Amino acid sequence: MSRRPISLCHWGPFEAEVSDGRLVRTAPMEGSGADPDMIGAWPELLYSETRIREPHIRASWLEGKKAGRGRDPLVPVGWDEALSHVAAELARVHRDFGPASIFGGSYGWSSAGRFHHARTQIRRFLAATGGFTDQLGNYSWGAAQMILPHILGSHAAVSSAATSWASIAEHTDTLVAFGGLKPANWNVTSGGAGSHHLPEAVLNAKARGTRFVLVTPHAGDAPDGLDAEVIAPRPHSDTAIMLSLARQAVASGRADPDFLARHTHGADRFLAYLAGETDGQEKTLAWGAEIAGLPVEDLERLWSRIAEGRVMLTASWSLQRAENGEQTYWALIALAALLGQIGLPGGGFSFGYGSMNGVGADARSGLVPTMPGLPNPVPPIPTARFADAFLNPGRSIDFNGHTVVYPDIRLVYWAGGNPFHHHQDLCRMEKAWAVPETVIVHEPWWTPTARRADIVLPATTSLERRDIGGSSRDPSVFFMPKLVEPVGEARSDFSIFSGLADRLGCGAAYHEGLDEEGWLRRLWDVSLERAEKAGIDLPDFETASEINYVPVSPPAEPEVLLSAFRADPEAAALGTPSGRIELYSEAIAAMGYADSPPHPAWRPPLEWAGAAEEGELHLLTNQPAKQLHAQLYPVMKDGDGPAACRIAPGDARARGIEDGDLVRLHNGRGACRARAVIDDGLRPGVLLMSTGAWYDPDPEGGPERAGNPNVLTADRPTSSLAQATAAQSALVRIEGLDRERT
């Protein structure tokens, strides 16, 4: 019997069993450590009733009515008719309103596979048509992405570089993880990965003697077997905790003056703030503990853990997805700078160990290229401000030192994302979504976003086409075979855009006369060149297509973040104005934003426990354990009722809520149903819901029915500097719903 083909998705590599042209079974590739439930969901997901099988157009749109989007019926049409409408509409809007009125940022994860990555494809296509309004930054680490270049010269510390687990296992005495090390987040990697070995890497470090301290309101953020110490502060108080530890480092004489002098800029001004010289408040441990809602002994103990030995400080990405999230990352870097271990093996700081599979893995990045982009003359808007932009054409906002003027959006084109999953304040977004004249969506499944389009084009999944896959955090490359024929009439995004580009007369610019195979060969040629430069052997295209899975040897030395800069701060100067780690930034000071101080500082958020009224709780929304965002929902959702909401026992008791009860969460922005799960590992005053439920508003005006917490979150930016999502900053109330149980 021949070997089963291997392919790849964001939640891991898998072996596929295909019988009579139908996918019947999927299992994790042997030794990969991928989650068998998520991988095993593929056959049901692929043929789900929720697949879009043919192109659809809203009947009332065809009659020229803008109103009715998301309510009036979508009717099936042939491909030719659908593509004619899309091409004509793009040409009309382009001609009458210009390229800036076409919104095609299309934020979203799409699927694994470098060539067929929908978001890359749509941006190239819309650029080929003459331009479009793009989105700058992401939802994952949007605040860090904008502020880290001011502090470190680039955002590599959050995106691609982290000190490797091998270095931690060998050298780290204590690892302090703000935001915890949530093990379920290791189920996925952007781009897919051959190896899911973080659970092992962490236990290996523990076995070698690393002690773990997790600072998180939820004990569930601790991996099994780690025996970690957990400190559970109020959400969003982390900045104050870090600043008080920094002050303690100075006050106790533990701060490293040589590191500060040689490797940082502006330390004196930051230290003056810590001492209270600029605002009359010394940032003592007692001050930090008060803000964090902790006994001061907890911070004294935390200080004693980091005062000695080799210390690695880390923060999850969730911490900066909050009001003033920029400050949290800056404060962590400042604390690490005072301890003076940045750039040493197993010491200093790194971000995101608990955020995604592959962070801290020993891997070579960037072997497989994506389809290259094309020039776009239109300036982008900050990613998470799109609903605000639709609602306020012509308005100016501050953004990282310059002014962005919102364009007048007439047409929205989305491929590879689900904004009715990912954006905040969905009731506000519904209003924004009604503004454009036309909405076009490519999707494999009838997601809430697809259902709110005027023209829906059915896209294939990565199992229905060939591709080359690989993540920058993984030592492998995958040649993903076409496992089955497309479901229904689905087509790849590339084939849809090629057809449209030909109609619009920009085919040569978009596809360059190449088909799927032609592009895969071209991309692989680039990989071979890159591999040769790096001294790695890769097989030729035919061999790789045959074997599917190509392991790539990891780099010889484990990565240590900023080691070259530590060794020689002149030769390996950072890309900041001073060439050093900036603890005070003149560039940020010059922006003059009231909400963006020029050194790390505590600024109380608008929505957090410190501002809560009687009965209000802080709602945190983390990533779903067995879904990738809203992907997999049709198969992996937990039962028929709404999503779970975790609540601490005392908070439940005070409201007469029992485990399993149906509950209603609400605030001034919206309301949703949920199923109460009483969790004694959760800090009182905090509610925790995972994202990923398919938005299902009640036409009768009752609470949203699936448990999508984004009806409760605020569409408010982290700060004027980053304009990133602050999804974690939300106060809500919760109550039982008529004692109904799910």
Ligand X SMILES: Nc1nc2c(c(=O)[nH]1)N[C@H]1C(S)=C(S)[C@@H](COP(=O)(O)OP(=O)(O)OC[C@H]3O[C@@H](n4cnc5c(=O)[nH]c(N)nc54)[C@H](O)[C@@H]3O)O[C@H]1N2
Tell me which residues touch ligand X (CB under 6 A).
108-111, 116, 118, 139-140, 178-180, 182, 184-185, 187-188, 215-218, 221, 235-236, 238, 316-319, 321-322, 354-356, 415-418, 421-422, 442-445, 447, 459, 461, 493, 620-625, 627-631, 691, 709-710, 713, 727-728
The Cα–Cα gap between 299 and 249 comes to: 12
Minimum CB distance to Mo ion, residue 238 (Å): 19
Q: Verify binding: residue 476, Mo ion, rule CB under 5 A.
A: no
Minimum CB distance to ligand X, residue 660 (Å): 21
Q: Which does 415 bind (CB under 5 to 8 A by kind): Mo ion, ligand X, none?
A: ligand X
Minimum CB distance to ligand X, residue 462 (Å): 6
Q: Which does 223 bind (CB under 5 to 8 A by kind): ligand X, Mo ion, none?
A: none
107 flagged as catalytic: yes
The Cα–Cα gap between 498 and 508 comes to: 9
Q: Verify binding: residue 622, Mo ion, rule CB under 5 A.
A: no
Among the listed residues 11, 42, 61, 109, the single catalytic one is: 109
Minimum CB distance to ligand X, residue 625 (Å): 5
Q: Which stretch binds Mo ion (CB under 5 A): 5-13, 91-99, 139-147, 700-708?
A: 139-147
Q: Which does 629 bind (CB under 5 to 8 A by kind): Mo ion, ligand X, none?
A: ligand X
Q: Which stretch binds Mo ion (CB under 5 A): 137-145, 219-227, 282-290, 712-720?
A: 137-145
Q: Verify binding: residue 140, Mo ion, rule CB under 5 A.
A: yes
- The pairs formed by 72-79 with CB atoms below 8 angstroms and a separation of 24 or more are 74/451, 74/453, 74/456, 78/54, 79/55, 79/489, 79/491, 79/499
Nearer to ligand X, 116 or 263 (CB): 116
Q: Which amino acid is at 351?
A: F
Q: Which does 447 bind (CB under 5 to 8 A by kind): ligand X, Mo ion, none?
A: ligand X
Element of type H or E holding 676: strand 670-678
Q: Verify binding: residue 723, Mo ion, rule CB under 5 A.
A: no
* Strands (E) located in 208-322: 211-215, 229-231, 264-265, 311-315
Q: Which stretch binds Mo ion (CB under 5 A): 33-41, 140-148, 477-485, 604-612?
A: 140-148
Q: Is 587 helix (H, G, I), strand (E, B) or coil?
A: helix
Is-contact 498 516, C-beta < 8 A? no
Name beta bridge partners: 628: 631
CA atoms within 13 A on the CB side of 4: 17
Nearer to Mo ion, 140 or 174 (CB): 140
Provide the angle, in degrees to the nearest 10, between the axes of the packed helices 238-251 and 325-339. Answer: 20
Q: Which residue has the tokens 């998470």?
A: 384
Minimum CB distance to ligand X, residue 542 (Å): 25
Q: Which does 108 bind (CB under 5 to 8 A by kind): Mo ion, ligand X, none?
A: ligand X
CA atoms within 13 A on the CB side of 71: 10
61 flagged as catalytic: no
Residue 216: CB atoms within 10 A of its CB come to: 29
Q: Which does 109 bind (CB under 5 to 8 A by kind): ligand X, Mo ion, none?
A: ligand X
Provide the angle, in degrees to the nearest 10, between the axes of the packed helices 238-251 and 296-306. Answer: 60
Instruction: Count the helix, strand and coil residues of the chain and give each as a percent rounded to the nearest 5.
Output: 35, 20, 45
Q: Which does 172 bind (CB under 5 to 8 A by kind): ligand X, Mo ion, none?
A: none
Among the listed residues 107, 510, 694, 695, the single catalytic one is: 107
Q: Verify binding: residue 690, Mo ion, rule CB under 5 A.
A: no
| CA-wise closest residue to 181 among 297, 329, 347, 350 | 350
**Which tokens is 43 given?**
């056959």
Minimum CB distance to ligand X, residue 411 (Å): 17
Minimum CB distance to ligand X, residue 574 (Å): 25
**Which tokens is 278 given?**
């600029």
Please report, as ranges, the residues that interact with Mo ion according to CB under 5 A: 140
Q: Which residues are the active-site residues?
A: 107, 109
